[in-house]
Structure 1
Amino acid sequence: MKKAILAGLLFLTFSRPVSALENNKVGIHVTQIEDLEKAAQLVNSSGGDWGYVTIVIQETDRNYDKWQKFFDTCRQSHLIPLVRIATHLNGDTWEKPSESSIEEWANFLNSLNWPVKNQYVIVFNEPNHAKEWGDRIDPGEYAIILDKALTIFKQKNPDFFVLNAGFDQAAPDSLETMEEARFLREMEARVPGIFSRLDGWVSHSYPNHGFVGKPWETGRATVKGYEWELAVLKGSFNLAKDLPVFVSETGWPHSGRFYHQETVAQYFKLAFENVWLQDAKVLAITPFILNYPYYPFEYFSWLDALGNPYSQYEEVKTLKKVRGEPEQKQNYELVNLSLPPFLMTNFVLKGKVILSNTGQSIWGEKELRLKAKAPGLKLTDLSLPAERRVKPGETVEFLFTLEAPATSGDYTVSWEGLAKYEIRVFDVWGLTGSKNTPLNSFLEGIFGFWYGFKP
């Protein structure tokens, strides 16, 4: 056969320590795939790259093609998704999730190829509001659901980064809401140690009460409200670990009865520059909401009904940002290798390797080179041309040159991350004792035609 096809598929993962990677904290809350272009222009501007987007997926909308396209667009746009799972609305109330639904969520989200290694999942939303939990308030029940999610998601894939629901810090004790500290205490009482199992802490650090707080205020229900929450976790429940913070919702409404949009823009600038970007505990900030210019969130929307940006969009766009460098899995499968089981001495083979990109990164955005490993032979590296881009799911052909030595024997050929392939090198001239016989000329021609050798 002209091509030697390996019987199995080979798999490789490259990884780097998370601590060595840069992080662009700036993000935005979005509602649909069409928002991602404007989101990327906002969060990856002014030197930034790989900012964040928070997105809600409802249980009635678990469509593989739709959400894989969303993740693929995030990958191409260099956006890191924070996925908040949700049930569905029944009138103006969100249905309460069932324990069995957690398995369904884990299976669905694990079936998708995420754009980065950390697969961030926020487990529902503001359960200290009755309308977010089947029209009832049940801290113990939410603790059980969260505990189950932490177990099942991690069992499915250790790359899931499981986060709590954000809470309404300003909510009082009433028939419709529960004060957050009380809610957390009752969660801990029902499932002791629940907060120590989290990978990070989601905070809705709005400038309350009434969304008219100032960016320099501190404490509960401010833009630094997450500090109050962390103090409760450590002081009341002896939480030992330092949870990274994800401010998945925050912001000021812009209208006559709140603040003018220019004031909102300046408040965002102060909050980003003086609070969130300066705080090492905070990993991401995704203000609410990029594009929802309709009731009841029209005053929070960063775009108007025509898609034009309000002042805070332009102000945050100009903020100096960091080029994020999130960890991505770089996996591939070896589909085909054109390599014979034997070579003649002193001959040069021009072959090819076909690899399929089964990882998360787009090959070619960074240099891709697999080092050759062939002791005693001259073998070139597998290198992707600088202008070539290969997305996950695509295949690419790498060309290589292999020069056999003058000495007969058994040799091995491989590249970084690929299995070894054995080759026998022999002296074809030794078959007849002369280099100039018709037999040797015939063998040389066969090798040259069949395997692409050149003497």
Structure 2
Amino acid sequence: MKKIVLSLLLALAVLFLSPSANAQGRPRNIFGAHLISPTHDEIRAACRLVNANGGQWGSLVRVLQEGELTPENLQAEYKILFEERCLYILRLATKIDDQGKWVLPSESTTNYITDLVKKTTPPSRGYYQLGNEPNRGDELGGDCLKNIPEYAHWFQKTKQAILEVSPEAVVMLGALDKAAPMIAPEYCDVKTFYKELIKAEPKIFDDISVLSTHSYFTGHNGFGGSLLTSHDAEKRYLFQLGVDHALGMSVIISETGGNQGANTVSNLQNAIALWQRDSKLLSFNVFVYHACDEKFHPFSLVDCPDSQMTPLGNAIYSNSKIVGEPEFTFSATTVGNFVKDLAENLDFATEITVENKSTDAIRRGEYELVLIGPSFDYSFSDFHLVLPGDTLRTKFTMNPGRTSGCPTLRFGLARKGQIVLELAEWQPCIHESPTLELIDVRYPTGIVEETKAQLQCFDSEEAIVARENGTITQGLFKIDHVEGVNFVDEYRCVLIAEGSLPQQWYTHFSPGQNSQKAKTVWPIDKNQDGQFNLTDILNLYSQ
């Protein structure tokens, strides 16, 4: 067998269009929730909540402290997201000191984050928010003003490190507390913070395409205007500060919600109605999914201790949602044993392995393997769920029919009926069934002049694959088409000449004509009276 190993590393981003789409033309499920130190069960339940009533690919903001998870632990959480079709927005944090303040990020924080990004594969592109409400002193090492340059330099360095290992990643600044007054070092108002941030790192907004923001239903808005659309005022202010692309930035509301008593649910519904019309909004995430402490329990989507949904949780659950279409990158390494020559009208089968290096899981029903080229009969054995990093193993079977020539065939991965990745290319040559000539067919006493004969060929399982009848004439036995044999396997073939012992040999067939010198044929019924006796032996040697 000629072994052809096909290894392709191809990447293709595919655009799906929908009437309900954001600025990039993609349908999006904007519903989301905010998680703090979640269990695996909570992650799964939260996904199902934000996807309830027709949705897929809702989002979850996940607070992640430095050192909290190993790459393996984080990938285990990603596995749940792939299974449930949810996106993660990692809100990356440092650690809390003895005074209850978040310490300043350091080089070790950068190394921890970069290692996580490098060694894990999240759904879609990966969304990383570096810090949270850094215009509060307790979120920025105790001083919201003095520590701005240090945060700015750290953010710029960490952003670049993330994009070096994951160019498709979305990196965001920590969302600001818009209600904060200017009372340094405890609080810095949003406008002062942004001015000082850009002063410390003029290019800090380079490579930032998404604004992470907080939009609560009530309270002060340092940018002015409506709280629910405060991100628009925030982008306009950044544009005034010289961030040229600010107005075109997409938005993730990484925190929203709050406790307004009897008005909480109605406020949420009003906000949803407004946000669903915002083409720049990727998601809103209600703070918080599950909290049992006195401070945050009134904000929670599920109650304590029974985890039943609160009125706010029921409101999220009851809203109709849509199937989002995140931006996936498709890549794979494909390996298969393919032969150069095929026999017409004969099944060919081989195992193909596809190592999934995409940013989505390959799911049965949503994805399928296809053969691109002539309309041959073919099939792939079934698969269920192939996560990134795992390998899909399938048995590929194809029958070329009566086609001849050397067509180019391509293996593809299709999602919802559209080809998203070409996996491999194969150009077999398809031939007519081979010809066989057995020459110099002889009895012990001389050439076989004329007698009927049959050729039988068996595969390695001793199943008969070919049976051809013919006539030996002047020592030549010729079969024009040996149907049922390929050009790869070895066969045990048997010549059964009328009235003679079977003669067998092992052979490989090649395309076209196959010639082979025959073995001696030993007749057992020389006088053809239907019996083997002494007369046959005497007739054989009487010459």
TM-score (normalised: structure 2): 0.71
User: CA shift at 1:166, angstroms?
Assistant: 0.5
Alignment of 1:395-414 (within 5 A): 395-403=392-400, 405=402, 413-414=409-410
Alignment match, 1:236 = 241
State the shift of 1:305 in Å.
Answer: 1.2
- Tell me which residue corresponds to 2:114: 106
Equivalence for 1:300: 299
Aligned residue number for residue 7 of structure 2? 9
Query: Shift of the alpha carbon at 1:41?
Result: 2.9
Instruction: Measure, in 2, the Cα distance between the counterparts of 1:145 and 1:29.
Output: 25
Report the 3-state secondary structure (helix = DSSP H, G, I; strand = E; otherwise coil) of the residue aligned with 1:30.
strand
Q: Which gives a bigger RCO, structure 1 or 2 (Cα 8 Å, sep 6+)? A: 1
Indicate conservation of the 8 Å contact 1:207/1:250, yes or no. Answer: yes
Decide whether the 8 Å contact of 2:380 with 2:394 is kept in 1.
no
With over 3 angstroms needed to count, the CA separation of the structure-2 counterparts of 1:397 and 1:291, relative to structure 1, is: same
Give the drift of 1:78.
1.2
Structure 1 residues 289 and 221, CA gap change in structure 2 (3 angstroms): farther
Superposed displacement of residue 415, structure 1: 2.5
- Helix, strand or coil: the match of 2:258? coil
* Aligned partner of residue 315 in structure 2, secondary structure: helix
TM-superposed deviation, 1:237: 2.5
Give, in whole Å, the separation in 1 of the partners of 2:250 and 2:43: 25
Give 1:287-366 correspondences, 5 Å limit.
Answer: 287-306=286-305, 307-337=307-337, 339-359=338-358, 360-366=360-366
Structure 2 gaps, min length 5: 17-23, 413-421, 441-451, 460-464, 467-483, 492-543
**Percent identical:** 20
Matched, 1:43 2:50: yes
Cα distance, 1:82 vs. partner?
Answer: 0.6
Deviates more, 1:74-83 or 1:227-236: 227-236
- CA distance in structure 2 between the partners assigned to 1:388 and 1:326 by the alignment: 21
1:421 and 1:291, CA in 2 relative to 1: closer, same or farther beyond 3 A?
Answer: same
TM-superposed deviation, 1:122:
0.4
SS in 2 for 1:158: coil
Quote the residue 2:181 is aligned against: 172
Contact kept, 8 Å, 2:231 with 2:251, in 1: the verdict is yes
Q: Point out 4+ residue stretches in structure 1 off by more than 6 angstroms.
A: 436-440
Q: Which amino acid aligns with 2:115?
A: N
Q: Secondary structure at the match of 2:425?
A: coil
For 1:115-126, list aligned pairs within 5 A.
115-116=123-124, 118-126=125-133
C-alpha distance after superposition, 1:20-67 (max 9, x if no partner): 421011111012133223322321122222111100111112312211
Report the AA paired with residue 14 of structure 2.
R
CA distance, structure 1, for counterparts of residue 103 and residue 173 of structure 2: 18
The answer (yes or no) to whether the contact 2:128–2:170 under 8 Å persists in 1 is: yes
Does the CA-based 8 Å contact 1:169-1:221 persist in structure 2? no
Paired residues in the alignment total: 431
Q: CA RMSD in A?
A: 3.3
Paired residue type of 1:223: L
Higher helix share: 1
Question: 1:163 aligned to 2:172?
Answer: yes
Q: Bigger shift: 297-306 or 23-32?
A: 297-306
Q: Secondary structure at the match of 1:94?
A: coil
CA distance in 1, matches of 2:148, 2:232: 21
In the aligned structure 1, how far is the partner of 2:170 from the partner of 2:51?
Answer: 23
Q: How does 1:89-100 map to 2 (within 5 A)?
A: 89-91=96-98, 92-99=100-107
Which structure has the larger Rg over C-alpha atoms? 2
**How far apart are 1:167 and its partner, in Å?**
0.6
Whole-angstrom distance in 1 between the partners of 2:80 and 2:196: 40
Decide whether aligned partners of structure 1 residues 451 and 150 sit closer, same or farther in structure 2, where only a CA change above 3 A counts: same
Q: Name which of 254, 262, 282 aligns with 1:248.
A: 254
1:371-382 to structure 2, matched below 5 A, reads: 371-373=371-373, 379-381=376-378
**Corresponding residue of 2:411:** 415
- Residue aligned with 2:362, SS: coil
Secondary structure of the structure 1 residue equivalent to 2:216: coil
Alignment-derived partner of residue 60 in structure 1? 67
Secondary structure of residue in 2 paired with 1:286: strand
Match of 1:223 in 2: 228
The aligned residue for residue 470 of structure 2 is: none
Contact 2:173 2:211 in 1 (8 A): yes
CA separation in 2, counterparts of 1:406 and 1:139? 71
Going by fraction, where is strand more abundant, 1 or 2? 2
> 8 Å contact 2:135–2:187 — kept in the other structure?
yes
- Out of 198, 201, 205, the position equivalent to 1:188 is 198
Q: Distance in 2 between matches of 1:321 and 1:41?
A: 12
The Cα shift of 1:190 comes to 1.3
Is 2:263 the partner of 1:263? yes
Structure 1 residue 404 displacement after superposition: 6.4
